[in-house]
Chains A and B, each alone.
Chain A
Amino acid sequence: MKIIHLVLISLFAMTHLAGCSNAVTYHHSERNSIALETRATDPQQPVQGNIGIKTRTIVVTPKVDKQSGKSTNVVSDFELKRKPNESWYKFGTTEISSTFMTGKAATLASTQSILAVKGGLGSDTLGEFNVRKKSIAQSIYQTLNTMKEDETAKSLSKRLDDLSKLLPDVSKIKFYSFTMDAKGNATGIKDNKISSLPSTFKGVLRYITDIEGSLIVLDEMLVNRAMTYNRQPIDKNTLDSLIKEKASLIKERETFATTIGNSPAIDAAAEYILGQL
């Protein structure tokens, strides 16, 4: 019981006191374990080992803008490195570097300092910044494709194209778009099936654009309840199912951000094109 009280008091302190003092509260803990396994009955079997690391990060940030609800930018990440053995009888060193940044540092830090900082495509909420990032990525891709004689450009373009291999099976995903009346006014929403996407970087950009476009359409439907779905009125069951679809698309977007949007291939292409200036 005492332990529960202590935990509750700590949580209360983190969430309430931090809010009062405008302070960012950051907790990062790591637990490491090493397991070695050998068989005494069979000395020829090599010794097998496992190294495990478990990290836990908790951040409580105050709002910087009460009206919009925006809070301080915070980035936390860690890097695990195994140094080679210095000699046959010594174990190598395991080095864990953790980073914590707030405010401008969190948004301006370079990729080298920490990968997660840069965010990449699809990592933001829908907004102008993400539209701009896609626009830049598309321009980089177009420029690489115009550099026909440049082997590095060709290889970087191919690396971007290869990202399309990481896309999920789009034929199983429902995308959404607006339906229009004869005058071109949006009257409802409809689902779209896409059988496949180009196996190039254009396919990647189309995928994230279609996901975000679908989210915009679903959000609009939630605000404008007069809208139809596949030209039928939206009843409660349909609404519930569309809300679930929205959650699933948000998850798809998150997966995209971690698997493709943060790819070093995009950073490498950007760096190369910048170097042309």
Chain B
Amino acid sequence: MDEITITEWDSNSIELSVEDSIKYFIFWDSQILQRGKTQILDSTLALKLVAERAELYDYGIIEAKRNTQDNAWLCKCMT
């Protein structure tokens, strides 16, 4: 894997022109893993499960961020 800096991230990316294909979703931890757990410590696993969930609706995640207050993942997705 080739790591890049945040500056490279910003300077090398372009805004997607088809904004209609972009949607934002929220995935609560309780929806992606077992009941009773309020937080998923393994973010890699959590994002994999979130990505699978989005894929069922033909969306791919292009950005994700954590909502710690409500134990959820907020995802910017495109179809």
Interface residues of A (CB under 8 A from B): 126-128, 131, 135, 138, 142, 178, 180, 183-186, 202, 205-206, 209, 213, 216, 219-220
Contacts and interface: CB of A to CB of B under 8 A. Distances in A.
Interface in B12-32: 26, 28, 30-32
A206 B56 contact: yes
13 contacts: A126-B35, A131-B49, A135-B49, A138-B52, A180-B70, A184-B67, A184-B69, A184-B72, A185-B70, A205-B56, A209-B53, A209-B56, A216-B30
A127 B70 CA distance: 20
Contacts of B57: 206
A186 B35 contact: no
Contacts of A186: 28, 70
Given A178-B28, A180-B26, A206-B56, A185 B35 contact: no
The range of chain B's interface size is 20 to 34
A131 B32 contact: yes
Query: Among A184, A205, A206, which residue has the most Cβ atoms of chain B within 10 A?
Result: A184
A216 B55 CA distance: 21
Given A183-B69, A184-B26, A184-B70, A216 B56 contact: no
Looking at chain A's contact residues, the main secondary structure is helix
A71 B26 CA distance: 36
A131 B30 CA distance: 11
A236 to B, nearest CB: 25
Contacts of B70: 180, 183-186
Interface of B: 26, 28, 30-35, 48-49, 52-53, 55-58, 67, 69-70, 72, 74
Given A138-B55, A178-B28, A220-B30, A127 B35 contact: yes
Given A135-B49, A135-B52, A184-B72, A126 B34 contact: yes
Contact of B31 (A127, A180, A216): A216
A135 B57 CA distance: 14
A184 B74 contact: yes
B33 A131 contact: yes
A197 B38 CA distance: 30
Given A127-B34, A138-B52, A183-B69, 20 more contacts: A126-B34, A126-B35, A127-B35, A128-B34, A131-B32, A131-B33, A138-B55, A138-B56, A178-B28, A180-B70, A183-B70, A184-B67, A184-B69, A185-B70, A186-B28, A205-B56, A206-B56, A213-B31, A216-B31, A220-B30
A216 B52 CA distance: 18
Contacts of B33: 128, 131
Nearest to A139: B52
A213 B52 CA distance: 15
